Amino acid sequence: MQIRPYRPQQDYRAVLNAQCDLYKINFPRFVCTPAFLAEQAQRLRAAAKRPFENGIFVLEDGLDFAGFVWVAIRMDLQGTYGSVDQVYLQEAYRRRGLGKLLMDTAQAFVLKQGIKVARLYVTAENHDAVKLYEREGYTVTRLEMEKPLAE
């Protein structure tokens, strides 16, 4: 098992294929359409051209793609931060401590850019992800609240 920087030629298809699964797990009403995939493909191509702003790391098991992490350097009113945008393991690789390896790699990339804060969004029902982030030391700083409206 090894973790290494994303290689567009080799990894593009696997990272793109993971997008539908990632969104389906996190957004129950999500439908994976060709338009969505085209948009993700575009994002991925653009990110690969900006390697200092986008840390994409692939976990491989021999020749098999096991998962990846994507952290982007962003700036907002609170300053510059590392945004852990996507953390993904193929099902067979979950619950083996590999999520932590992906997170540690993403955080090391952010620190290497001289940035001391990492931030992320997670769906509250995604318990495995929430647990991983809490174990990694993330705490809740803002809440997105929702209420279904009856007609």
Ligand X SMILES: CC(C)(COP(=O)(O)OP(=O)(O)OC[C@H]1O[C@@H](n2cnc3c(N)ncnc32)[C@H](O)[C@@H]1OP(=O)(O)O)[C@@H](O)C(=O)NCCC(=O)NCCS
Binding site for ligand X (CB under 6 A): 22, 25-26, 86-89, 94-100, 122, 126, 128-129, 131-132
Contact 66/1 with Cβ under 8 angstroms? Answer: yes
| Tokens encoding 69 | 């992490």
Residue nearest ligand X by beta-carbon distance = 97
Nearer of residues 40 and 86 to ligand X, judged by Cβ: 86
Using alpha carbons only, give the angle 133, 15, 108 rounded to the nearest 5 degrees: 40
Nearer of residues 104 and 149 to ligand X, judged by Cβ: 104
Nearer of residues 45 and 95 to ligand X, judged by Cβ: 95
We find the least distance from the C-beta atom of residue 70 to ligand X, in angstroms, to be 9
Q: Which residue has the tokens 């991925």?
A: 44
We find the least distance from the C-beta atom of residue 101 to ligand X, in angstroms, to be 7
Is the Cα dihedral 123, 124, 127, 130 positive or negative? positive
We find the least distance from the C-beta atom of residue 104 to ligand X, in angstroms, to be 10
| Tokens encoding 46 | 């653009």
We find the least distance from the C-beta atom of residue 128 to ligand X, in angstroms, to be 4
User: For 148, phi and psi rounded to 5 degrees?
Assistant: -70, 135
CA 44 to chain centre: 12
Nearer of residues 13 and 96 to ligand X, judged by Cβ: 96
